Amino acid sequence: MAHFNARLMPLTKEARQAIKDAPCLEISRFPFLIGREQRAQHRNGHEWIAERRKYDGPPVNHCYLIDNCDPLYISREHLALNHLGEQRFSVIDRESACGTIVHEQLIGGHDKGGNIDLSPDQIIQIGSRSSPYLFRFELD
């Protein structure tokens, strides 16, 4: 079995903030499940973060992104990156509300899901076409 390192490189300020300003998101296993950790809410003119995940159950994602946009773009169980063998990968939209865009092609959205092949250096936009959460898939 070939060894490789896979990662998502944030391409926007919002994408960097979603991974807590880390230089990249290392993909540690496949399928690699990604979703939203928290929801920003506004009350009395102040923003605060309300926890959305149940801590009494097992995590449903390997990586939790922070979505501070209004409206939200990242679903709590948004997408999975899958290794199909050799140098083949795919993105699976996990029935997200806004969908996922890979190489300009929208998959999922409106809670319907979908999947698409993924190649190194392709851009993944998490959410609709107006989403600021852009990442480049890298492999070495």
| Whole-number Å distance between alpha carbons of 76 and 53 | 8
Structure tokens at 116: 């698409």
Q: What's the mean pLDDT when you consider all of the chain?
A: 89
Break the chain into its structural domains and give their ranges.
6-139
pLDDT single digits (tens) 79-112? 999 999 988 999 999 999 999 999 999 999 999 9
DSSP at 45: T
Q: What local confidence, expressed as pLDDT, does residue 53 receive?
A: 47
Number of Cβ within a 10 Å radius of residue 137: 21
Taking the whole predicted model, whether its pTM rises above 0.75 is answered as yes
Residues 6+ apart with CB under 8 A from 84: 90
pLDDT at site 138: 98
In the numeric block, the tokens 């998490």 are attached to 126
For residue 135, give the H/E element and its range: strand 134-139
The pLDDT assigned to 56 comes to 62
From CA 104, how far away is CA 49, in angstroms rounded?
31
CATH C-level class of 6-139: mainly beta
Closest CA to 80 of 35, 125, 119: 35
Q: Mean of the pLDDT values across residues 113-132?
A: 97
pLDDT of residue 39: 56
pLDDT at 113 over 80: yes
